[in-house]
Amino acid sequence: MVKSITPQDMVKEVVSSTKPMLVAFLKQGQRQREQLELLDRAERRYARSVDCYLYSDGFLETGMRQHFVSGTPTYLLFQDGWEVDRLMGCSDDDMLDSFLRRSLKRKD
């Protein structure tokens, strides 16, 4: 199951995580449910190589400002304390898989 993350937890996780982190910024609504299901499938598929998080609804606007996210849905990939890539807009399984494979390969 995808974990929710707050700004305070995100700072700690990004710095201390030994695996890349995929963080989804999703606003409430029909698209959120679809994209959350997509994120959940990605977490199961990439469990050994990526930790997946949903940015907490209560802090979404703050998080968007902090990470320069201009719209939702947006997926940010972090590794070694830094953002290494981002995917903006509604996605599907193929698009998110391609994004993760490309981004993780580039980081190796």
pLDDT tens per residue, range 70-95: 999 999 999 988 999 999 999 999 99
Considering the entire predicted model, what is its pTM? 0.91
Distance CA 10, CA 6 (A): 6
Give me the percent of the chain exceeding a pLDDT of 70: 97
**Average pLDDT for 34-48:** 94
Residue whose C-alpha is closest to residue 98's, from 29, 42, 24, 23: 42
Total count of domains within the chain: 1
| pLDDT-based confidence at residue 67 (cuts at 50, 70, 90) | very high
Domain span at 30: 3-107
**Average pLDDT for 15-32:** 90
Amino acid letter, residue 105: K
Are 13 and 56 in contact, with CB atoms under 8 Å apart? no
Per DSSP, what are the bridge partners of residue 88?
A: 74
Residue 4 has pLDDT above 90, yes or no: yes
Distance CA 23, CA 63 (A): 11
- What CATH number is given to the structural domain containing 70? 3.40.30.10
- Specify the pLDDT at position 14: 86
